[in-house]
Amino acid sequence: MYTIGNVTRNTIAMVLAGGKGERLSPVTLNRPKPCVSFGGKYKIIDFVLSNLFNSGIKKVYILTQYRAYSLNKHIKESWAKWTGLGEFYDTISPETSSASEEWFKGTADAIFQFLRFIESANADYVAIFGGDHIYKMDISQMISYHILNKADITLAALEVPIEEAKRFGIFSVDEDFRVTAFAEKPQEPVTIPERDTCFASMGNYIFSTRKLIEVLKEGKKKHADLDFGKHIIPMMLERDDRVFAYNFIDNLIPGMRHEEKGYWKDVGTIDSYYDANMDLVNVVPQLNLYNYKWPILTNQSNLPPAKTIFDEEGRRGQSLNSHLCGGCIISGSTVRRSIIGPRCKVNSYSLVEDSILFDNVEIGRHAKIKKAIIDENIKIPDGAEIGYNHEEDQRKGYIVTESGIVVVTN
């Protein structure tokens, strides 16, 4: 663990939250990926924003773009309320704020378009984080590590087995974890010295402010589609700037259990999104939402408590190994190993198993739902069966993944 005083006081954050999330379609057809529900009551973006907030970083710009209304509304109704004098959680979008009114063309181009916010911030460090991953992290420890190394940029790194490394951008490092090379999805990944694992990029960066401004202006002269992984990091390595990797496994948060160390999920596909949600219903989940020393924050609604009703043979309201959100009613039905979002109702004699229900879903009587993701505001008719006959599911217009997850959006 690395800590140096109050390092977050002189830090601002830029959160990249404009992605369409095409691989997560169809649940991203009407919302950006960071605004997709997760764990019932949360949005995906709540995890990085909670990490920043809990780490003491409360000057945060959230860069939105694709179908930004729902995400902007979520930030305004929750995060914007929790800041004090001189603090902010604010959304900015290219269609409303950029002088050129152009869409972001790359991750670094998104930051470049709002360089004036950084130049006027009087901050020593800039944390640039993605808005679409599930994990817990004390970012102040990464900033302290950055300061100790007198780094120009520090890259958050996930230690992965060599057989998985081909799916990531991989850093080559020396014995001091100074980065010597970067390769995107290499066929022959380079391992960490004296280990049989590799350092994969998490897409999260700490920059010294002056260096960030310098390299963005230099890079933009050469590349219209300026990107951190593709252009900025290789350029900084060529210039012999001080580039260091920060091992995420070393990050410790208050109240962390041993099995949580290193937990990080890229929920970029339907399968990975489903698996990460199902992680939560394990008896001892790797991601502990009940750690009140490092809470995951979100919009606190005024919904009533969830309830189960009826207790008679064949018509018993029960929820087993599941998460139920506020306003849910499990009415004479059974829910197993599922995530049930706010204001859902599961009517009598129905069965929901291994499924994820978004906000305000209603399951009719005598329905059977298995291994499904059901989008918000959908009413499943009485007697419907989903997840039992995939050919029939597809005839109804539902998406069925290769692993058998059924996605219902209409």
| Binding residue positions for alpha-D-glucose 1-phosphate | 169, 184-185, 201
Q: What residue spans of 2-119 are helical by DSSP H?
A: 45-54, 69-77, 94-97, 107-113, 115-119
Contact by Cβ (8 Å): 165, 178? no
Q: Give me 58's structure tokens.
A: 């409360």
Q: Which of 66, 250, 63 is nearest to 148 (CA)?
A: 250
Contact by Cβ (8 Å): 393, 400? yes
Residue 138's contacts (CB-CB under 8 Å, 6 or more residues apart) are: 51, 54, 55, 251, 252, 253, 294
Contact by Cβ (8 Å): 54, 82? no
Residue 124's contacts (CB-CB under 8 Å, 6 or more residues apart) are: 10, 11, 208, 209
Give helix then strand counts, H and E, for the chain: 10, 31
DSSP annotation of 178: B
In the annotated binding site, the residues are: 169, 184-185, 201
Contact by Cβ (8 Å): 162, 196? yes
Strand partners, 329: 307, 345
Give the dihedral sign, CA 93/96/98/104.
positive
Which DSSP string corresponds to 216-279?
HHHHHTT-TT--IIIIIHHHHHHTT--EEEEEGGG---TT--GGGTT-EEE--SHHHHHHHHHH
Task: Please calculate the CA angle 387-392-393 and round it to the nearest 5 degrees.
Answer: 45
What φ, ψ does residue 358 adopt, rounded to 5°?
-75, -175
Distance, in Å, from the CA atom of 141 to the CA atom of 199, rounded to the nearest integer, reads: 18
Q: Give me 310's structure tokens.
A: 């009826």
Residue 14's contacts (CB-CB under 8 Å, 6 or more residues apart) are: 60, 61, 63, 111, 114, 117, 118, 126, 127, 128, 129
